[in-house]
Every structure is written in C-alpha cells, then in structure tokens.
Structure 1
C-alpha cells in the first residue's frame, strides 16, 4: 500500500470504495479528536475538591476529513455534489479507514457541511463525522486476525506484541487470550462485542483466572452441539439456554488473560471480538 499520499476508504451500506476514485475529488487529510471523558464528580460540604463516582466513561467524539474538488464544467460540479452526498449519507453507520492507520476502522455518521467555492468549478470542504461509540476498532475480529497479516494491514498502534503469533482458537484446557485493546473488553457494563464459541463433550466451566470471571453450563454438550456465549447471553444451538447457566460472563483484561476450562473433552473454543482503541 502506498503511504506517500493519504487515502480514505469507506464502506456504506455494504459498498466499499476509495474517495479518490471519484473523478476530480481529492482527499487531503483526516483528523480524529482526542477521547472525550465523561465524569461523575460529587462534592462534599466537609471535604476539599470532588470525588469521581464510578468509572470514568468515554463519550462520543468527532472525526474530520478535508477534501478538494475540481470540476470540468458547471454540470460536472452539480453532479459531483450530488454524488458526494450520496457517498457520505446513509441511514446506517459508515465505516471509515485511512491509509496511515489501515488496520483500524471507525463507525461514523456524516454531519452537514458547507462547501467553499474557489472559482466556478473548484471547491474545498471539510466533513465532520460523529463517532458515537467513542472507540476505533480493528478492521477484523480476533479470530480473523490472519487477514490483517495476510493483507499487511497491521500497524504500529494496534498493540500487537512483536514476534508473537497470536491465536484465538484453542483445543486445550488451559490457554492465554491476548487483548490488545486500549480498554478492558466488558460485555456486561459496556456492552462490548465478545463471542465465545464452545464445542466439545461434557459440562463446561470456563474461568478467566486473571480476574475470576467465569461461565458455567449446567447441562452436557454433545459432539453435535455448539454453545455461543454472545456477550452475556448464552445460546445453545441458536436457542437461549440462560436458565441452564450460572448467569455469568467473561471479561477480558488488557493484555494476557489466563483461561481455564474444565468438564469438557474434545475441546474447541474460539474467542471472537474486535480490538478497541481510543
């Protein structure tokens, strides 16, 4: 990939494209606002200062993209304006990714913008996007990590350990799961995306020995069964099975997580989650 000139890629309603592929349109630069903290400060009449109640949260933030457009004639200018709107606005979140950070994407919403006409056919404009989640995330989920390496889309800033061949599918009773995110993966309080796919025979108990979070299924799996812990919701062969569980969930700390699984033979476990970045 050529990094000499920045490129901006988007995925809108299932269609992927590069903005510069549109005749006359030139992407110039991208700026991402710093994380926006949300505090809950409480004051006490008998103490100096304030105290933070609960965890500090991260709010929505903005992304800004600068463009330059040069038209062939006035008709071209009007048609291009309509095409730019068509590419930027959707009823769904848009995925943005740029060439200087190719392994990370952002789910955003385009805000209204104004064009500055430089002459009869040229204009420049800046589009601001809202990023509701406050996070950027990896281009693919953990169990598809090989596609990042295969396409040379990994990068500095993804916190991937040097020289480590990371795995997210396991067939042993004790293994380690690496979370390179800037935050703890928390499917309970933060509703983070985390799927744990479990196959095997027996009654599984899985524990993250790093933080003592654990999940238990109180019925036996057969060789034909698939148990998916979708965040905090357990699904056995696609149907809810919460009554047959401990109503627990797993949380992944930053860095290495030491996982133990008991009560299961012929183990086949996959951890699938996007890496989250500030």
Structure 2
C-alpha cells in the first residue's frame, strides 16, 4: 500500500499527495527520549535515579520526492511546501499506516536535493515537543473501537470489547489504553471530567485513591467540569468550594466510585497518549 501523509493546519486537513507531482515516501519517528536525573555518592558505586524518568521531545522525519513538468513547477512546489509545513503554531501529522495517531510537530529548516531541472528529493525533520503521539479523537468521541478513521491495531484497545466514557451509575470502570498514566497534575495531561446531576458529588478512583469533591450542591441546570486540576462550575472557577483534588488515571482499568449525586451523568474526556 502506498503511504499517505495528512497534514492538519488551521483546522484543515490536507493529503500531501494532493499537491501535483509531490510524493510522500515514508515517515520515521525517533524513539522515546528518556530524561534522567542521576545522583551519585562518593562512597558508593554507580548512581541512583532521582525522581521519575521523564520523556523528552523527539523528532519525526518525512521523506518526499517531487517530479514536476518544468522549472516553474519546481519553483512553485517549493513555495507551496513551505507554506504548508511552516506555521506560527504546531501542525499535526498523521500517516495512513498509523491512521489512529496524531503528532503535533514543528517543521525544521531543510534543504532539497535537485536531481535535474524538474525533479527533487528532500527530507523534512520535525520537532515533536510533547514526546507523545495522540489518539485522533478524545475518549468520549471514540464510537467504534475498530473504525479505521479513529483507531488502529497497537493502541492497546481491548479486543472485541466496547469502551464507554459516559456513565450514569455510581460505580463504573474507565479504561486508559495509553502507554502512560494520565496525570493532569504533574504532567499537565489533558483530562476533562464533565459532571451533571443533583447533590454534592464526590468522585474517587478506587484504583489509586485520587478523588475530587464539590462542597456545594449541584442542581439539574448545573454543569461541573474538572478541567485537569481546575474545577469550573457553569464556566466559572469554583476551587474554593472543592477539596482541591484531581483524578489520575492509571494504565488499564480504573475503578471509579461516585457518591452524593443523583441523576448521574459523568463523562471522562481525554486523548490517549502513546510513546
């Protein structure tokens, strides 16, 4: 199968092969980059890792071949490529061989190898600042596990099992297929918990004992959103009326308990993160 590369910029997604004469030939993703903090002792062999090992930014390289009709095609192609790949904001790459994963990247300067007056090859190296590849959509938009537009093999999704991220019961399980713990506190990971119902809600992840609580009553018209570590009641910060807590999702299944709330409607919305 011929590989394809999709570029999302300014809200629009473009198949890069749509450019006349331009052919995407492959994408190479650098391995995860471990950031260590070793501490040594003058009277002890070796070193000890101090704190967690972090994952740094890494690079992605896309290879291209261009075959135009004349020298003017060549000049115009250079301009179109620069216009597409360079931006004041990160752009998003997605390849057809890994269709369920996005990469937010920043293009680095590159040179072309001119084969003759109308052909060239070039490789573009991109910085991927977060170090992660992201699921194409957030958890609450994942309707069909094996929809080719949303997911793929290798995303750690349980085989043949539908996943739910909207719940109306007091006890349920949330599945995190990511390669890492979803940690909105230390790692600033994207996690929205959208809460509707009546009463004073307390939500606890029994798997790791992280929990959130609102110390005032919700009504049927209220909506509480725990945006990472920031609670918003009807769009207004309400941290003083909370336990100042947050939810962290372990890898795999998380056992969630809800108390103090009736007519429950809770959504967990987060992108899946992959190394």
Q: Secondary structure at the match of 1:84?
A: helix
Question: Please, which of 32, 52, 59 is the counterpart of residue 62 of structure 1?
Answer: 59
Residue equivalent to 1:250 = 247
Q: Which blocks of at least 5 consecutive residues in structure 1 are unaligned?
A: none
Q: Secondary structure at the match of 2:162?
A: coil
Q: Name the residue aligned to 2:49.
A: 52
Cα distance in 1 for partners of 2:150, 2:10 equals 22
User: What is the rounded CA distance, in whole Å, between the counterparts of 2:232 and 2:260 in structure 1?
Assistant: 18
Q: Distance in 1 between matches of 2:163 and 2:221?
A: 28
Q: Distance in 1 between matches of 2:9 and 2:144?
A: 21
Superposed, 1:18-97 pairs within 5 Å as 18-97=15-94
SS in 2 for 1:48: strand
**TM norm structure 1:** 0.97
The corresponding residue for 1:210 is: 207
Distance 1:264 1:186 in 2: 25
The Cα shift of 1:150 comes to 4.3
The corresponding residue for 1:231 is 228
CA contact (8 A) 2:102 2:136 kept: yes
The equivalent of 1:104 in structure 2 is 101
CA contact (8 A) 2:197 2:222 kept: yes
Closer, same or farther in 2 for the Cα pair 1:203/1:105, shift >3 Å?
same
- Structure 1 residue ranges (4+ consecutive) displaced by more than 6 angstroms after TM superposition: none
The whole-number CA distance in structure 2 between the counterparts of 1:204 and 1:9 is 42
Q: Does 1:174 align with 2:171?
A: yes
Contact 2:99–2:148 (Cα < 8 Å) also in 1: no
Q: Given the two structures, how large is their TM-score scaled by the length of structure 2?
A: 0.99
2:155 matched residue in structure 1: 158
Cα deviation, 1:163-222, whole Å, max 9, x if unaligned, reads 110000000000000000000000000000000000000000000000000001000000
Distance 1:148 1:156 in 2: 10
Is the Cα contact below 8 Å between 1:140 and 1:148 reproduced in 2?
A: no
2:138 maps to which residue? 141
Instruction: Measure how far apart 1:153 and its partner are.
Output: 3.6
The yes-or-no answer on 1:127 pairing with 2:124 is: yes
Q: Does the residue aligned with 1:243 lie in a helix, a strand or coil?
A: helix
Looking at structure 2, the residues matched to 148 and 235 of structure 1 have their Cα atoms a distance apart, in angstroms, of 30
Residues in 2 aligned to 1:158 and 1:119: alpha-carbon distance in whole angstroms: 42
Deviation of residue 108 (structure 1)?
A: 0.2
Equivalent residues of 2:145, 2:162 under 8 A apart? no
